Amino acid sequence: MSEREDLLRDLEALLFVSDEPVASIVLAQALDVDRRDVDGLCEELARSYEQENAGVVLRNVAGGWRLSTSPDAAPAVERYVLASRHTRLTKAALETLAIIAYKQPATRHQVSAIRGVNSDGVLRALVDRGLVAEVGREEGPGRPMLYGTTPEFLERLGLPSLSALPPLAPLLGRIDEADAGATDVE
């Protein structure tokens, strides 16, 4: 491999791990080359992505260089992102989410006690999806982690705040009525 190919490879790696535009001077320092050389390398890399019709593009934006997805790939990227973030919740996840939403902050043990089953996996999945987060620790033996809902939870439900959740008492009344109706039929 030539020195230029090594620089292009290293530049690409630096841009890949960066989550924001990187100024040419910062890239030049990291690669130990002149800033003008970095600009030339970036332009060359950008052209190569364009010629290959690659899924990524390199742009000079906001005072720095940044890799982003190709506009031509937008429909596939959009489907992927929406499918992975907004897949349906299981019944167990909905139960756990409801318990945390109404009780928060709640410990893992409290959630499991209310549901009557171990909820560790479901709680972990809700944290991974960004609907629930650790919000502190309970004072007491072992100082268990406390969980609460996130802004993403409110966004997904279209709620401005937790105070917009429907009151729980009327919902419990409907459950009791449904149970009574089922008993009368039996």
As a whole number of angstroms, the distance between CA 139 and CA 105 comes to 12
pLDDT, average across residues 135-152: 91
38 with 30: CB under 8 angstroms?
no
Specify the 3-state DSSP secondary structure of 183: helix
Q: Residue 34: which domain range? A: 3-73
- pLDDT tens for residues 93-133? 999 999 999 999 999 999 999 999 999 999 999 998 889 99
As a whole number of angstroms, the distance between CA 142 and CA 163 comes to 31
Does the pLDDT value for residue 172 go beyond 90?
A: no
Task: State how many domains the chain has.
Answer: 2
Q: Which residue has the tokens 């429909």?
A: 75
CATH number at residue 126: 1.10.10.10
Examine the domain organization and report whether 111 and 163 are in the same domain. Answer: yes
Of the chain, the percentage scoring pLDDT greater than 90 comes to 59
Q: Is residue 82 part of a domain?
A: no
Q: What is the pLDDT of residue 63?
A: 85
Q: Judge if pTM exceeds 0.75.
A: no
Q: What is the pLDDT of residue 34?
A: 95
Nearest to 122 by CA among 92, 150, 87: 92
Q: What is the pLDDT of residue 79?
A: 80
As a whole number of angstroms, the distance between CA 137 and CA 140 comes to 9
pLDDT, average across residues 40-66: 93
> Average pLDDT of the chain?
86
* Domain limit, last residue, from 39, 73, 107: 73
Backbone angles phi, psi at 142, to 5 degrees: 80, -15
Q: Is residue 53 part of a domain?
A: yes
Examine the domain organization and report whether 19 and 102 are in the same domain. Answer: no
Examine the domain organization and report whether 97 and 175 are in the same domain. Answer: yes
